[in-house]
Structure 1
Amino acid sequence: MTNHGYVLDVSAFQPQACYFDFWSKWKARGVKGGIVKLSEGTGWTNGYGASQIAAIKHEGLMASGYHFSRFRGDTYQAVQEANLAIACARQMGLPQGAPLVLDYEERLGYRASNTQAAIAFLKCIKAADYQPVFYSYSGMANLWDFEAIHAATGAVMWIAAYPTLAGVTSPNMAYFPGISNFICAWQFTDNMWGEHIDGSIDLTGVFTSMAEQKVTSGGHLDDYHFEGSKLIINGWFASDKATGKNSHYIILTDDKGHELARQSINLTARPDVAKALPDIPGGGQSGFSASFDYTKEMAGKQLRVYFRYTDDPAGNGNAVDYISEADLSKSAAYLDSMSVSFGKKLNVNGWFASDMSIGRDNRFIILYDTTSQRELQRVKINPVARPDVAKAERSVYGSGQSGFSASFDYDASLIGRKLQIISRYSGSDDGNSDYVDNWFDPFMGPSMPVLDGKTEQTFVAHNIKVETQKDGSLLVNAK
């Protein structure tokens, strides 16, 4: 593939980027431009910014700037942050008309409000006569609508996706995340030349003034999630090297290359790919999708996912692959509620899901004394359906049946002690081996429930013991 211009982005973490020889070295490696972090949020500014921009320009490279946003879906704050970015751009010597990037990385908020706030920011940038650019990670596309952002502001996209964390000197374009027709650059590494600096390839000349080049190969693992015991894989891959390779496979291996599963698939329509990357042959029919049985052998691994075109019906032979990764070592949990009842019970409710829970069908909730580091009580439970968790955490195995509810015996001796709740999946009936745990945050044993002097509490007991406390209140123990 024809060499595009490379671009480095730097911030206050790279004070060495103030020096001419820093950029001279990178220029010799093919870098044609530098993107400097100017500001963040509503108050932080880069004290090295002016010197970094001056050094970039001194070496004959193109200078751009970016602002790291904190506004999420708050349109009012987005405008405030835009005003700070514009002021910094002018004070630090960023040329008028240069790209000024909105760096959007907060994984929170709602898509509609995030999108509108981004539009408000970029409209300010455009009105200030800088070129609006939107930056984010390909895996965050559910948090913003870039097509709406582009339509409202004319902004182009600088997309980030790292095929590897190892040091690289050039991108593997088979991994190109072509999620929009308006991608101007791809940040393909945070370890350029092994020096732990972010490196990008400029596809359209926005950051380097170089001419646009054709992209003829690309792919993306759009989604992997669980539906019951099935692992669902979705994505796309198209390449000019796929001609004559009429068999299509998704293959799963571990990180050592040991094959775990493969499935022959029929390609599906992807008009979005054809629109975004019209120069890739077959982009309109490049969808890859398969359902695999999830096995204990897959659990806890960083799976390699191969999208393959091959001339061999068995999936071998001459092949061209797109390779991505699926993390099957994830867990998620939340303790929804905890209370002490008049029946001297500590009641806990929550959920815990884990990719490593497969084959571990016995579930326990444990009350643990953190100070003495010993288990106090253990309750074996049945799973509780949690469709809300299944929807929110669909990439974690077992999330739909991840709920739990348990009660422990509780008395005054536990008040104020440092306690912890442990949720456990185990392959053994007693829960003492072959298990995976989630330890919730420690807490101080709560007080026993106290009547307010007005409310009546009626209950039936076989035995009642009443003790007068120092403050005059009564401690009632009922059986």
Structure 2
Amino acid sequence: MAREIFVDLSSFQKDLTVDDYEKLGVKKAIVKISESTTYANPYIHDLVDKAAAGGVNAFAFYHFGRFTNDAQAANEAKYFIDNAKNQVNVKPKTLMILDAEINGMPTSSVIVFLKALRDAGFRTGFYTGKNLLASFDLEEIKPYMDFFWLASYPTVAPADKNPDFNYFPSAKYVDAWQYTDNLLGMKVDGSITVTDNGNNLFNASENLSQPNSSKPVAQSVPSSTQAHEWTDSLGMTWHEEHGTFITGGAINLRWGATTQSSIIAQLPAGVEVKYDAWSRDQSGRVWLRQPRTNGYGYLVGRVGNEAWGKFK
């Protein structure tokens, strides 16, 4: 099998640029969505967008667990699922992972969490560190996890993309090994798949929605020189373009480019919105991307050939 390097991303990697992702040269990423029942990653859209623009074409997502009993596990699973659907519109069969790094997390609660993910239609993953592995009953967890990801760092020095398998952690069922927290000296966790199952669960054609086959017509958006385009985790093709859109009526500004995404604010008529990219969804809506201090906002600027405001 061909082993593949991938990275995992959280707010700690918010300053990575598209160029940084191109230097990392990875095609797969696991992105943090939530933690406990009080934290949702405010940089999720920025991380996904930049990673996709830098060459990543397959995504999975994770939740940092803080639960110590079954009831808390059920609540955290619901929080993870709700944020996955509302913030990034994660598709069914996507790989969704529990990050189990705290002491006192019962095996029974891990199973409650993973079962909730599976019941919601997702593939399930379990991540922990080699130092904590003995505190879990892996045989009990195995029927509920589709993917096992284990961390063990052989060195504190910056690591390259060729891990030393003399240090591979001896454990059953491992699909991916996280071998460094400083891949290429860029302060990003680096992992490698070690089974075909590990590779297949990242298959973009299965885990992500397919790109829209209908191409936007030239007059659908204001003309400009487009520096590049990319496909995001929802399968939408984005075109870089810098301009201003003036709302023609009340329009919802959302955290994602779907009508199911959470609303940031309702913009009244006459508001000027600076945007840096556009994309057309399968329903014919042209979405505009607004850069924000904590990520991006998205709004509909046109449906079909009907503009919902003015471009300048």
Task: Give the TM-score of the pair, scaled to structure 2.
Answer: 0.59
Q: How does 1:223-242 map to 2 (within 5 A)?
A: none
Q: How does 1:18-97 map to 2 (within 5 A)?
A: 19-27=17-25, 31-58=26-53, 59-72=55-68, 74-90=69-85, 91-97=87-93
Q: Is the CA contact (8 Å cut-off) linking 1:62 and 1:207 kept in structure 2?
A: no
Q: How does 1:460-471 map to 2 (within 5 A)?
A: none
Displacement after TM superposition at 1:25 (Å): 2.2
Q: Does 1:16 align with 2:8?
A: no
Letter aligned with residue 4 of structure 1: R
In the alignment, what sits opposite 1:158? Answer: 149
Q: Is the CA contact (8 Å cut-off) linking 2:70 and 2:112 kept in structure 1?
A: yes
- SS of the residue aligned with 1:67? strand
Displacement after TM superposition at 1:210 (Å): 8.6
- Relative to structure 1, the CA distance from residue 16 to residue 208 in structure 2 (aligned partners, 3 Å threshold; closer, same or farther) is farther
- Relative to structure 1, the CA distance from residue 154 to residue 207 in structure 2 (aligned partners, 3 Å threshold; closer, same or farther) is closer
- Relative to structure 1, the CA distance from residue 205 to residue 63 in structure 2 (aligned partners, 3 Å threshold; closer, same or farther) is farther
Aligned-partner Cα distance in 1 for 2:56–2:151:
26
Q: Is the CA contact (8 Å cut-off) linking 1:7 and 1:208 kept in structure 2?
A: no
In the alignment, what sits opposite 1:189? Answer: 180
Aligned-partner Cα distance in 2 for 1:162–1:60:
24
Number of residue-to-residue matches in the alignment: 199
Q: Is the CA contact (8 Å cut-off) linking 2:126 and 2:145 kept in structure 1?
A: no
- Relative to structure 1, the CA distance from residue 20 to residue 195 in structure 2 (aligned partners, 3 Å threshold; closer, same or farther) is closer
In the alignment, what sits opposite 2:103? Answer: 107
Q: Is the CA contact (8 Å cut-off) linking 1:99 and 1:206 kept in structure 2?
A: no
In the alignment, what sits opposite 1:178? Answer: 170
Aligned-partner Cα distance in 2 for 1:209–1:195:
27
Q: Is the CA contact (8 Å cut-off) linking 1:53 and 1:93 kept in structure 2?
A: no
Which is higher, the Rg of structure 1 or of structure 2? Answer: 1
In the alignment, what sits opposite 1:227? Answer: none
- Relative to structure 1, the CA distance from residue 119 to residue 84 in structure 2 (aligned partners, 3 Å threshold; closer, same or farther) is same
- Relative to structure 1, the CA distance from residue 25 to residue 94 in structure 2 (aligned partners, 3 Å threshold; closer, same or farther) is farther
Aligned-partner Cα distance in 2 for 1:36–1:200:
13
Displacement after TM superposition at 1:208 (Å): 4.7
In the alignment, what sits opposite 1:137? Answer: 129
In the alignment, what sits opposite 1:257? Answer: none
- Relative to structure 1, the CA distance from residue 56 to residue 44 in structure 2 (aligned partners, 3 Å threshold; closer, same or farther) is same
Q: RMSD in angstroms over aligned alpha carbons?
A: 2.1
- Relative to structure 1, the CA distance from residue 66 to residue 210 in structure 2 (aligned partners, 3 Å threshold; closer, same or farther) is closer
Matched residues, percent identical? 32
Q: Is the CA contact (8 Å cut-off) linking 1:63 and 1:94 kept in structure 2?
A: no
Q: Which has the higher contact order (CA 8 A, sep 6+)?
A: 2
In the alignment, what sits opposite 2:194? Answer: 203
Letter aligned with residue 144 of structure 1: F
In the alignment, what sits opposite 2:245? Answer: none
Letter aligned with residue 70 of structure 1: R
More strand as a share of residues: 1
- SS of the residue aligned with 1:118? helix
- Relative to structure 1, the CA distance from residue 21 to residue 209 in structure 2 (aligned partners, 3 Å threshold; closer, same or farther) is farther
In the alignment, what sits opposite 1:119? Answer: 111
Q: Is the CA contact (8 Å cut-off) linking 1:164 and 1:189 kept in structure 2?
A: yes
Deviations 1:351-390 (A, max 9, x none): xxxxxxxxxxxxxxxxxxxxxxxxxxxxxxxxxxxxxxxx
Q: How does 1:79-478 map to 2 (within 5 A)?
A: 79-90=74-85, 91-108=87-104, 114-151=106-143, 153-169=144-160, 170-180=162-172, 182-205=173-196, 208-209=199-200
Letter aligned with residue 182 of structure 2: N
Q: Is the CA contact (8 Å cut-off) linking 1:136 and 1:158 kept in structure 2?
A: yes
Gaps of 5+ in 2: 203-312
Q: Is the CA contact (8 Å cut-off) linking 2:95 and 2:201 kept in structure 1?
A: no
Displacement after TM superposition at 1:3 (Å): 5.6
More helix as a share of residues: 2
Aligned-partner Cα distance in 1 for 2:201–2:110:
27
Displacement after TM superposition at 1:99 (Å): 1.1
Displacement after TM superposition at 1:84 (Å): 1.1
Displacement after TM superposition at 1:89 (Å): 1.6
- SS of the residue aligned with 2:141? helix
Aligned-partner Cα distance in 1 for 2:114–2:19:
33
Deviations 1:181-211 (A, max 9, x none): x211000011111222110001235565499
Aligned-partner Cα distance in 2 for 1:67–1:44:
10
